[in-house]
Amino acid sequence: MTKHEPVIKEDDVVIRPTQAEAEDAVRTLLRWAGDDPNREGLLDTPRRVTKAYGEWFQGYGQDPEEMLQRTFSEVEGYQDMVLLKDIRFESYCEHHLAPIIGRAHVAYIPTDRVVGISKLARVVDAFAKRMQVQEKMTAQIANTINDTLKPRGVAVVLEGEHHCMSTRGVHKHGVNMVTSAMRGAFDSDRDMRREFMSLIGNPTNKL
């Protein structure tokens, strides 16, 4: 993005700071933490941090709906579940900016067209690479696939370890949060939902 390019939000427009302003903010945090941003080991840290932020939060510059626009109709009438499981994702808690590391399982039941499987993984990443809460991210992925592809059903399950819980606060390691979103046939058909849960390797009584 260019300098001061508007970042569109739901309710308003926020003017993006310049690179220099962002680096100054990092120096402020370094001083607040009790260190000297002018010492040799930290001199280039502001530039490195802003570069890392550009990678971690690149989802703000991506359009998940656009990723699903190209579809394929030569599927010989295939109308059963399409499942992509164990999609590793890296996100960041919007409350503490601590990492959320986990796996996504995404399925849909096509009508007459399918989408390239890599696009499903890209949709997961587009939402993961933003400041997030897992519940919201789960719904965003499901709603985007449902609204764009118009399938007969969509199922999304996310499993994530939240470092805001494992590295601070209660310091509970190895705890995974599981969230799910079911749309269409996966919501109305218990057998379809059970099949999905069986395929991703989770007991059906979790949902």
Q: Is 94 in the active site?
A: yes
Query: Strand runs (DSSP E) across the chain, as ranges?
Result: 6-8, 13-15, 71-72, 82-93, 99-109, 114-115, 131-132, 153-162, 176-184
Catalytic residue among 62, 161, 163, 164: 164
Q: Is 163 in the active site?
A: no
Q: Is 93 in the active site?
A: yes
Q: Annotation-wise, does 96 bind a ligand?
A: yes
Q: Annotation-wise, does 171 bind a ligand?
A: no
Q: Is 162 in the active site?
A: yes
Catalytic residue among 93, 105, 159, 195: 93
Q: Residue 100 phi/psi, 5° resolution?
A: -120, 115
Catalytic residue among 132, 159, 162, 195: 162
Beta carbons of 110 and 82 less than 8 angstroms apart: yes
Bridge partners for 91 per DSSP: 100
Catalytic residue among 4, 69, 95, 135: 95
Catalytic residue among 105, 132, 134, 140: 134
Q: Which two tokens stand for residue 153?
A: 């059903």
Catalytic residue among 19, 62, 90, 94: 94
Beta carbons of 132 and 102 less than 8 angstroms apart: no
Task: Give the residue among 126, 62, 139, 61 at the shortest CA–CA distance from 90.
Answer: 126
Q: Annotation-wise, does 93 bind a ligand?
A: yes
**Kind and range of the H or E element at 10?**
none
Q: Is 171 in the active site?
A: no
Per the annotation, binding residues for Zn(2+) are 93, 96, 164
Give the active site residues.
Answer: 93-96, 134, 162, 164
